[in-house]
Structure 1
Amino acid sequence: MSVTWSAPVRFVECDQQGVVFNAHYLVWADEASALWWASLGLPWQEIAARADPVVKASTLEWSSPARYGDTVAVEAETERVGRTSVTVRFTVRVGERVCCVVHTTYVGTAGGAPVPWPDDVRERLTAG
């Protein structure tokens, strides 16, 4: 299952050539992540209170630029579920053209240390 978040590229997100600055791809992935958690029946407030997920790592792979005036669509889908982590793949597109793929790994924590996902959360993560 996947979900898609979209938004127009704003002027403030671009450099002087009208190309999106790289850090904004992470912001867009973060926006899409809230929608992804909610699509699993785990709105952010609930998952934050129960498993306190934190970002362990994010990697970005660029293919082509998004530019001022484009509308980006960020598709979020579960890539891998571990005992204490989940990796989500965020594919950023303009139309059918892939601009960037972001892989973000979230780790469930308690008191700042990794903990296994609660059973019902794990079920939702693996179903998603």
Structure 2
Amino acid sequence: MPAQWSSPVRYVECDQQGVVFNAHYLTWADEAATAWWASVGLPWDELVARGGEPVVKASTLEWSSPARWGDTVTVDADAERVGRTSLTVGCTVRVDGRVCCVVRTTYVWLTDGGPAPWPDDVRSRVTAG
């Protein structure tokens, strides 16, 4: 089940040429992923109250075109792959329908003993869509 997050590009997010600095795409993907977790019925505070927590193992970014100061970015987020102990959320950053960047973030379910299988109810919610 996809979720969406949107924001105007702020001046502070840009370099001297008015182009968004690359690290902000990760922030936007994190905002969209948080919205995605909530959209599948797992708001972050409830998710981490289950005896473990999803932690970021890796993020990759693939740029297509720049977002600039004055644009409004829209980020679509959805699960791309659900494994036994990890899942990958893909976030597509767009301006007026034009793809600027795709961010893929892999989360691992972590308990005190290390990576663990996703709880059954969490797995069923993230795979329902």
TM above 0.5, yes or no, is yes
User: Is the deviation greater in 27-36 or in 44-53?
Assistant: 44-53
Deviation of 1:127 (Å): 1.1
Moved over 4 A (4+): none
Q: Paired residues, what number?
A: 128
Identity fraction in percent? 73
Three-state SS of the structure 2 residue aligned to 1:123 is helix
Helix, strand or coil: the match of 1:38?
Answer: helix
Q: Deviations over 1:14-61 (max 9, x none)?
A: 000000000000000011111100001000001122231100000000
Secondary structure at 1:66 match in 2: coil
> Deviations along 1:50-104, whole A, 9 cap, x unmatched?
2311000000000000000000000001100000111000000001100000000
Corresponding residue number in structure 1 for 2:63: 62
Question: Please, which runs of 5 or more residues in structure 1 have no aligned partner?
Answer: none
**Aligned-residue RMSD, C-alpha:** 0.9
SS at match of 2:127: helix
Aligned partner of 1:55: which letter? V
- TM-score by structure 2 length? 0.97
Q: For the structure 1 residues 96 and 112, does the alpha-carbon distance in structure 2 shift closer, same or farther, using more than 3 Å as the test?
A: farther
TM-score normalised to structure 1 length: 0.97
SS in 1 for 2:121: helix
**2: CA distance between counterparts of 1:23 and 1:113?**
28
Change (3 A) 1:19 1:112: farther
Measured in 1, the distance between the counterparts of 2:21 and 2:66 equals 9
Q: Cα gap change, 1:69/1:36 in structure 2, threshold over 3 Å: closer, same or farther?
A: same
